[in-house]
Amino acid sequence: MRAPGYWYDRERRLPAALLAPFGALTARATAHRLRRPGGRAPVPVVCCGNAGVGGAGKTTLALDLAQRLGARGLAVHCLTRGYGGRAGAGVLHVDPTVHDAATVGDEALLLAAAAPCWVAADRAAGARAALAAGAQLLLMDDGLQNPGLVQDWPLLVIDGAVGFGNGRLLPAGPLREPVAAAAGRAAAAIVIGVDRVRVRRNLPPALPVLEARLEMDVAAGHLRGRRLLAFAGIARPAKFFDGLEAAGLTLVGRRSFPDHHRFRPGALARLLREAERLGATLVTTPKDAVRLPAELRPQTEVIGVGLRWTDAPALDALLDRMATRRG
């Protein structure tokens, strides 16, 4: 889906105001769900989640933490529900050599390249499978509002460019629960990107806040001087496009698709024709690349992003606590 414009435009008050009563129902439903008791794992459980829908950088953060925690000698296993895949009920250990995005979802494939990854709508069942396979720390990508597994280290991930949108709950705004409720459970908040909306105003003063900037993969350097037609089917494609330009690359076209978009042959053929007409190279995100047909991948440059932390010592201290004890 594409997010309605009024979710992130506080000037467009009428649609949000009309839908506000339904937002109150969302708040009550989420609060009721979170009162259910969850299973407790014998190892630390870290959750990269957000207060609303859409991309805040959860998977990017999960990939970063998987690498850093793994470097501390921990057997990190990732848990995800496999959004966009058709894996169905049960628990599935993701094998990138066997599974595709249509089966397990794009995020699961990215995570599986960094650490063992399990797709399970039932997070407790996924945790049991991971523990049986030797997991020493469980890293959840999304699921802040999922009570199935007790989270020792819930991390509230925030996109610094848009914050919490208009501050309203679904469908009047992007939130699944009030910010105060999500922040009240969080062990820390992670602001990704430049904080353009002063998100700290909405957070408890005692909540630790860490900041990180998105940084294009160094592989982007070989594309300097080339004409690029960029396309992305992520929550905020503009974040990818702006990052490319900030890295000094030349975009002659931007094409946005809905998050987790399944690229159809016709749309891909049009992209190829447009790139040829513009004398441009197609470029996209790793998340989109795993959803492309195998025959198109060699014709598309893939540029990923990483995180550059503002306060590396604070991050190391947080990771040390995660690795040695519960929150």
How far apart are the C-alpha atoms of 168 and 178, rounded to whole Å?
A: 8
Residue 270, number of CB atoms within 10 A of its CB: 12
Q: What is the pLDDT of residue 327?
A: 54
- Paired with 39 in beta bridges are 149
How far apart are the C-alpha atoms of 119 and 105, rounded to whole Å?
A: 9
pLDDT in tens, 150-194: 999 999 999 999 999 999 999 999 999 999 999 999 999 999 999
| Whether pTM exceeds 0.95 | no
How far apart are the C-alpha atoms of 287 and 291, rounded to whole Å?
A: 7
Residues in the chain predicted with pLDDT less than 70, given as ranges, are 1, 88, 218, 326-327
How far apart are the C-alpha atoms of 287 and 44, rounded to whole Å?
A: 27
Residue 54, number of CB atoms within 10 A of its CB: 19
Tokens matching residue 245? 């330009």
Is 3.40.50.300 the CATH number for 34-213+308-324? yes
Q: What is the pLDDT of residue 262?
A: 87
Q: What is the pLDDT of residue 77?
A: 98
How far are the Cα atoms of 38, 46, 153 from residue 326, in angstroms, in the given order?
16, 9, 7
The packing angle between helices 312-324 and 58-71, to 10°, is 70
How far apart are the C-alpha atoms of 45 and 50, rounded to whole Å?
A: 16
Q: Are 24 and 123 in contact (CB under 8 A)?
A: no
How far apart are the C-alpha atoms of 304 and 294, rounded to whole Å?
A: 18
Which residues have a Cβ under 8 Å from the Cβ of 210 and sit 6 or more positions away?
188, 189, 190, 191, 309, 310, 311, 314, 315, 318
Listed by start position, the domains of the chain span 34-213+308-324, 218-303
